[in-house]
Amino acid sequence: MEYPTTERLARFLAIAGPLADRFAERAGEQDRTGAFPYENFADIRAAGLPALPVPAEHGGWGANLLEAIVVTERLAQGDGSTALSFVMHVQTVGSAAEGDGWPPELFANLCQEAVERGALVNSLATEPALGSPSRGGRPQTVARPRYAPDGALVSWVIDGCKSFASMFPVLDYAIISATLEDGSGEVGRFLVAVDDRFQIEQPWDAIGMRTTGSHTVSLRAVETPAAFLIGRSGQAKGGAGNAWFTLGIGAVYLGVAAAAVEAAARYALDRVPTALGRPIAELESVQRHLGQAALLLHTARTQLHYTAMQWMQHPDRRSELTPWLSAAKVTVTNHAVEVVDRCLRAVGGAGLTRALPLERYYRDVRAGLSHPPSDDEAAIAFGRTVVQRLGAQTP
């Protein structure tokens, strides 16, 4: 299936395409220095892209899950780090619009901010000691209630530390998970305006996705209004079952892999060794590597898009579809790694140099393996499903 398939998606891609091209021009130097891509996010805001996942009834573009995935892939073809950061905003707003338990007025206000001034939001749930919230556990970040003299709850005061705070340098809002110190023993999720009460404790410095600004940040006496409590539960909420997160992440690495195939093919067409007298693109060995990469890319994209469509078309069966999300994420991220590897094999030693973007793609796609669910978690879950199904059939 070729995209775009609708006029609306064509309009979205007509905006995302030129953005991605500009991102690509800056990506190499930004990757070398690790500098956060402020220019890219200025372009994103100028284009109105923060409104992409905002429902139409709130003045946004109203992109559905599949449309958001396709746009994310296109942005990632320009710069994976920028796309990975931006998809955190997309998945946060998209999942909330889908029914993430937000108070209606609070969600409407966030949507208005995203539409009118390009406000960006991300959920900060991971902590240095806790690890990924998808594995469970209670946050060490705490929220203390503050009451008025008449006993009315006025606000919450939050202290703690969050890691992997992607897009932090340009965040307007953060969703913070914290253990409630109100005697309930529950965990709350808060919408918090990002200001100077957030401090960078450990700057982001990684081998791949180097410019996401995913710093470790501390919160010291960060106060947020009582009405900004999104919800409370007995346990922190992770990414499992959130199609906007899981499939959005996959789209980022799919886009990086697609950029790698194009870069390798262009190099193969332009490279004419004197000993060969013709482009290396005519060699069967090169064609084989590029063909295998293209096949993997097609397989990954097909599964990602199909899973998104199933999620959209069968809202009453989403609990059954949750394992499909894991399957799509695992397939796409592993295929992306192999795609870039095939591209490097096709290009040869030149692919290891910074004259080509392939070495950056090679580092970036490996980050996909670190997002939840991990390959091991997904395999164990699939295995349990098989055993439980067969067990239920045994008389």
Whether residue 249 is predicted with pLDDT greater than 90 in this model: the reply is: yes
Domain identity same for 102 and 148: no
Q: Is residue 332 part of a domain?
A: yes
The Cβ-side half-sphere exposure at 128, using a 13 Å CA radius, reads 8
Q: What is the CATH number of the domain that holds 278?
A: 1.20.140.10
CA-wise closest residue to 334 among 307, 360, 373: 373
- Do 151 and 182 sit in the same domain of this protein? yes
- Measured distance CA(387)–CA(358) in Å, rounded: 41
224 & 315 share domain: no
Can you tell me the mean pLDDT for 89-94? 98
Which of 233, 252, 282 is the last residue in one of the domains? Answer: 233
The pair phi, psi for residue 272, each rounded to 5°, is -125, 90
Residue 63 inside a domain? The answer is yes
Answer with the one of 177, 210, 233 that is the final residue of a domain.
233
Query: Are 189 and 292 found together in one domain?
Result: no
Do 340 and 254 share a structural domain? yes
Q: Which pLDDT belongs to residue 155?
A: 97
Average pLDDT value for residue range 108-127: 97
Same structural domain for residues 57 and 136?
no
Specify if 395 maps to a domain: no
User: What is the tally of helices (H) and strands (E) in the chain?
Assistant: 10, 8
Query: For residue 388, what pLDDT band results from cuts at 50, 70 and 90?
Result: confident
Q: What's the confidence (pLDDT) of residue 158?
A: 98
Report yes or no on 2 lying in a domain: no
Place of tokens 């078309």: 313
Q: How deeply is 197 buried, as exposed, middle or buried, from its count of CB atoms within 10 A (0-12, 13-18, 19+)?
A: middle
Segment 288-317 shows an average pLDDT of: 97
Torsion sign (Cα): 46, 51, 56, 57: negative
pLDDT digits (tens, 9 = 90+) for 185-220: 899 999 999 999 999 999 999 999 999 999 999 999
**Could you tell me if residue 371 is inside a domain?**
yes
pLDDT band at 234 (very low <50, low <70, confident <90, very high): low
Is there a domain that residue 301 lies in?
Answer: yes
Convert the pLDDT of each residue in 336-383 to its tens digit.
999 999 999 999 999 999 999 999 999 999 999 999 999 998 888 888
pLDDT at residue 394, as a whole number:
64
Say if residue 238's pLDDT is above 50. no
| Residue-level pLDDT at 235 | 44
Same domain, residue pair 382 and 248: yes
Enclosing domain of residue 217: 124-233
Q: Residue 237's pLDDT band (boundaries 50, 70, 90)?
A: very low
Domain count, the chain: 3
* Residue 150 belongs to a domain: yes
Do 284 and 379 have their domain in common? yes
For residue 95, the model assigns a pLDDT of 96
Specify the range with the lowest mean pLDDT, choosing from 45-49, 139-143, 233-237: 233-237
- Are 111 and 150 part of one and the same domain? no
By percentage, how much of the chain surpasses pLDDT 70? Answer: 95
Which residue among 215, 233, 251 closes a domain?
Answer: 233
Kindly state whether residue 394 falls inside one of the protein's structural domains.
Answer: no
pTM over cut 0.85: yes
Which CATH number goes with the domain that contains 36? 1.10.540.10
| Amino acid making up residue 83 | A
Q: Tens digit of pLDDT for each residue in 139-173? A: 999 999 999 999 999 999 999 999 999 999 999 99
Comparing 320 with 16, the larger pLDDT belongs to 16
Q: What's 131's DSSP letter?
A: B
For 250-275, letters b (16+ CB in 10 Å) and e give bbbbbbbbbbbbebbbebbeebeeee
The CATH number of the domain where 219 resides is what? 2.40.110.10
Say whether both 149 and 254 belong to one domain.
no
The CA-atom distances, in angstroms, between 314 and each of 70, 245, 311, 320 are 20, 18, 6, 10
105 and 158: one domain? no
**Run of H or E residues at 193:** strand 187-193
Residues 143 and 34 in one domain: no
